[in-house]
Amino acid sequence: MHDLVEADLWSQLPADLEALLARLPRADLYLQDEMQVAFHPTLTRLWCRKGRRGQRLVEAPGDNSRVYGFGLVDWREGWFDGRVAPGRTAEVFCEQVRAAVARSKQRARVAIVMTDNLKTHTSVGSLLVRTMLTELKGQLYLVYTPAYDPDANRIEWLWRVSRRVVTHNHSRGTFELLLEDLTQHCRGARSDSCRGPSPYRESFCSGQGSRCSFVSRSSRIIILEAFRSIAPR
């Protein structure tokens, strides 16, 4: 464990880290998070012709309808589960986590799910989560990233692709068309993950050489690095 983090950070390691690392050889590690998708385009830089007439116009809609995309991905293999819901509810979260547990059970493995500490993700804040953890004891382990630390969960890197494909500077005239783009994006990620190595996975599973910079932000990233080192292929 100490090989994965600099010595001056050893005192910051969570008490349960050693037990989690011991489970990794027979576990699937999943990253889970939600992304808000609003009708108002997310703005970013893009190439345009020189001069005012060549500038691309991005229309601001009169209403700002929104939904949430739920994503869960196998950190090593890229298997992906994507869902769309009107809110960040415990019901959808539990459905997604249960799908991951069912997949791991078929593989004779346990499921470790890394997620943020949103109230609807915790046993304290949600009866559904508390019931799920009791029912799936020994099959499911939820690992929570520190508050306000998005770099601790690399599924955030996948959302960069989602923003670029779906919401950045979009020109959809209705929210329904934007939702169709989001649905197709989720289907594409799921389809690619079922066929094998996925371009979606490459978007957030590359550049592993700089692990110490991530460790300094959050000790939870140690789990990701350890998993890539010891998990059987």
212-222: string of b/e by CB count within 10 Å (b at 16+)? Answer: eebbeebbbbb
Which one, of 195, 30, 27, lies nearest residue 105 by Cα?
A: 27
In the chain, pLDDT over 90 holds for what percent of residues? 28
For 111, the domain range is 2-40+61-230
To the nearest 5 percent, what fractions of the chain are helix, strand and coil?
45, 15, 35
What CATH number does the domain containing 30 carry?
3.30.420.10
Band of pLDDT at residue 1, cut at 50, 70 and 90: low
Per-residue pLDDT at 190: 61
pTM of the model: 0.74
| Token representation of residue 128 | 């559904």
Residues 6+ apart with CB under 8 A from 110: 23, 26, 27, 28, 104, 138, 139, 140, 141
Q: Is 51 part of any domain?
A: no
Q: Is 146 part of any domain?
A: yes
| Residue 196, Ramachandran bin (φ over 0: left; ψ between -120 and 50: alpha; else beta) | left
Q: Is 45 part of any domain?
A: no
In angstroms, the CA 119 to CA 196 distance is: 34
Q: Is 48 part of any domain?
A: no
Per-residue pLDDT at 195: 46
Q: Which tens digits make up the pLDDT trace of 120-176?
A: 999 999 999 999 999 999 999 999 988 877 778 888 877 777 877 787 777 787 888
210 pLDDT more than 70: no
Sign (positive or negative) of CA dihedral 33, 98, 93, 222: negative
Q: Is 115 part of any domain?
A: yes
Band of pLDDT at residue 84, cut at 50, 70 and 90: confident
What is the count of structural domains for the chain? 1
Q: Is 8 part of any domain?
A: yes
DSSP string, 123-140: TTT-HHHHHHHHHTTTTE
H-assigned helices in the chain: 17-23, 90-106, 127-135, 155-162, 175-195, 199-202, 211-215, 221-230
What count of other Cβ atoms lies within 10 Å of the Cβ of residue 169?
Answer: 14
Q: Which tens digits make up the pLDDT trace of 161-199?
A: 787 778 777 778 788 888 888 778 777 766 555 444 444
Q: Is 50 part of any domain?
A: no
In angstroms, the CA 72 to CA 49 distance is: 39
Q: Is 55 part of any domain?
A: no
